[in-house]
A and B are shown apart, each in its own frame.
Chain A
Amino acid sequence: MEDRETLTNLYYTMLLIRRTEEKILELLLQGKLASSMCHVSIGQEAVATGVCSAMQPQDYLTSTHRGHGHIIARGGDLRRIIAELLGRATGYCKGRGGSMHLVDINLGHLGSNGIVGGHIGIATGAALWSKLQNADRVTVAFFGEGALTEGIFHEAANMAALWQLPIVFVCENNQYAMSLPWTHATAERSFARKGEAYGMPGVEVDGQDVLAVRQVALQAIERARHGEGPTLIGAQTYRFLGHSRGDPSPYRDKEEEARQRARDPIRLYQERLLQEGILTQADVDAIEAKVAEAIADAVRFAEESSPATLDSVLEDVFARQD
């Protein structure tokens, strides 16, 4: 059984992701974001939280266009995240990267990416370098099920298994690649068999159950750390909202949406914590207040920060020599 602190942190992280993204949507509607490109992961918080909780500080990860949750779960600085979205010089990318390109090299977060699957190559390379250096570092590549049908995933999975690289492929299957149901995208939908085809274990997990995700991730990361090679995790989850702001998801069955929303990962986990006496209602309320304060502080910081400048963009086209 996990200790109380770990269990509480998982709850705090999931709630922080949810409330932050709700705030981001609010800022978007207020016209305060520097870019209208913004994809939230509401409904998918247990995957980012469970997996990142299983990582060590020295490990790496790469993330997706729907990546707010990954950087928050990795311990990213909420101030710099909000500042980035508001286009401020204090943001993670000096205000020019926006929602899709969050990054924190100091946390081993090698960037979220606007190209579906594009970052899986970078993750594989980070794992290759860790292996060549005999470094005790595991890389986690998060991606949606849309990336499963991209060529780079196939090439990366093949290479990672061939060379037994210390990497964990985490597929967050939110069931839809924009509008396309995954049943219309790929014939083989067993992660076990998909993994087997590449020569690595494939594990399926309920992505709405944060503790189940954490367990699966702990095992996969442990395997990778001990030189036993990659694992493909398929976390079954659901994107509660549309693909992006302008998407009311008319392609989804409303009954299906209701059924999925009933399995809200945060509510499921909260009920469990209350039932098992790990948290009291007062604890839950205190966490809610703490989350609200962190977000208010981040928004305040961002709004007080100076705006991004084109000069700074021009300065960074090429890296300087050491």
Chain B
Amino acid sequence: MRKIRYREALREALREEMQRDPRVFVIGEDVGRYGGAYAVTQGLLQEFSPQRIIDAPMSEAIIVGAALGAAVVGGRPVAEIMYVDFATLAMDQIVNQAAKLHCMFGGQLIAPLVIRTQQGTGRGAGPQHSQSLEAWFAHVPGLKVVMPATPYDAKGLLKSAIRDNNPVIFIEHKGLYALEGEVPEEEYTIPLGVADIKRPGNNVTLIAYSYMVHTALAAAQELSQAGISAEVVDLRTLAPLDMDTVSASVFKTRRAVVIHEASQFGGFGAEIAASLQERLFDTLTAPVRRIGGLHVPLPAHSQLEKQVVPSVDQIVQVVKEMIGTPEMAAKHATTQTLCCKSI
């Protein structure tokens, strides 16, 4: 199968949806002449028109607001917010308006709007350009949240997001745009709300999304050399959340680690961990572990930044702790004996 980059897969999705449906248009900062800050929309202005690839003034609130208004009266806009950090400037439009419209107005209005943005570390871009804010959006009823990890998923999910009748926050990762992966030439879509097992395994389930799927896959590879078989589940969408696939995997492996770049404190991993213990408390052989970012404003310094977010080594270490090396198992047994004696 042919291989293309994550950004090219996204561009193909936009192009195909714009060709398929004349109501689809793109609006955002530097999406036209510049081709997008991360080159996703490159060439689309030339292929389409300034009426369908709209360079907007630097006004995040009205970019989302205008996209929303157009969506309400028949358009299918894709608004681009250059960095998820800048979505803070449009939060009323996203949270109070787009997310609420359909339900608040008794189902009279719909808001079929996609907000494409990107987040995450990898460029040393600092505290205002590298955050991971997905938990904010997932917490708001009425929003769908999509976080693709591969070119294949990026294309199929973006096409579904554009066709969805609800506001979708589509969060890409700045560290993935150059990633190559297999993407078929033929038309396909991926439904929102279906997780994907990126690597099968039996001893532990690593639950991740976006860039961290690749970190988890690298950890799984390393663990396999130590004789530990890790299953990697890619959530792909946080809302709707495919808890059934996650639970089925953990039911099998009996151990779970949730991994994300966002601050661990109050992060989405807590939701997964809590749901797992509610569903599978008796099955689990160890507490569900979370590996998230440190709760700190990200330093604009590539080397320091790396230390804030989860690493392959960290995941490997946590899994080994959970499963236990021979000496850990011995230590565990001693502790238990001591506990029993004290009783």
Contact = CB atoms under 8 A, between A and B. Distances in A.
Nearest to A109: B108
A93 B109 CA distance: 10
B61 interface: yes
Contacts of B65: 120-122, 124-125, 152, 155-156
A152 B61 contact: yes
Interface string A155-198: 11011001000000000000000000000000000000000000
A125 B71 contact: yes
A155 B67 CA distance: 13
Contacts of B266: none
B57 A96 contact: no
Interface stretch (B89-97, B181-189, B224-232, B241-249): B89-97
Interface string A120-155: 111111111110110000000000000000011001
Interface string B19-63: 000000100000000000000000000000001000011010110
B64 interface: yes
Contact of A319 (B62, B96, B97, B166): B166
A118 B108 contact: no
B109 A101 contact: no
- Residue of B25, B92, B141, B166 ringed by the most chain A CB atoms within 10 A: B92
Contacts of B219: none
- Residue of B75, B97, B108, B164 ringed by the most chain A CB atoms within 10 A: B108
A121 B68 contact: yes
B109 A128 contact: no
A313 B105 CA distance: 10
Given A118-B92, A152-B92, A316 B103 contact: yes
Interface in B145-188: 163-166
- Residue of B70, B93, B142 ringed by the most chain A CB atoms within 10 A: B70
A262 interface: no
A95 B65 CA distance: 26
A152 B62 contact: yes
Contacts of A110: 69, 72-73, 109
Given A103-B109, A321-B164, A129 B69 contact: yes
A108 to B, nearest CB: 9
A159 B181 CA distance: 39
Contact of A111 (B57, B62, B105, B110): B105
Interface in A77-134: 91-97, 101, 103-105, 110-111, 113-115, 118-130, 132-133
Interface string B64-89: 11111111111101000000000000
Given A93-B105, A159-B59, A162-B57, A317 B70 contact: no
> Interface size class for chain A?
35 or more
A96 B108 CA distance: 12
A60 B105 CA distance: 16
Interface in B93-116: 93, 96-97, 101-112
Contacts of A318: 102, 142, 144, 165-166
Interface in B193-207: none
Contact of B102 (A152, A155, A316, A321): A316
Given A60-B73, A132-B51, A313-B103, A125 B67 contact: yes
Contacts of A156: 62, 65-66
Interface in B132-146: 141-142, 144
A185 B32 CA distance: 38
A134 B275 CA distance: 50
Given A319-B165, A321-B164, A159 B62 contact: yes
- Residue of A113, A128, A152 ringed by the most chain B CB atoms within 10 A: A128
Interface of B: 25, 51, 56-57, 59, 61-62, 64-75, 77, 92-93, 96-97, 101-112, 141-142, 144, 163-166
7 contacts: A92-B108, A94-B107, A105-B108, A110-B109, A120-B65, A124-B65, A128-B66
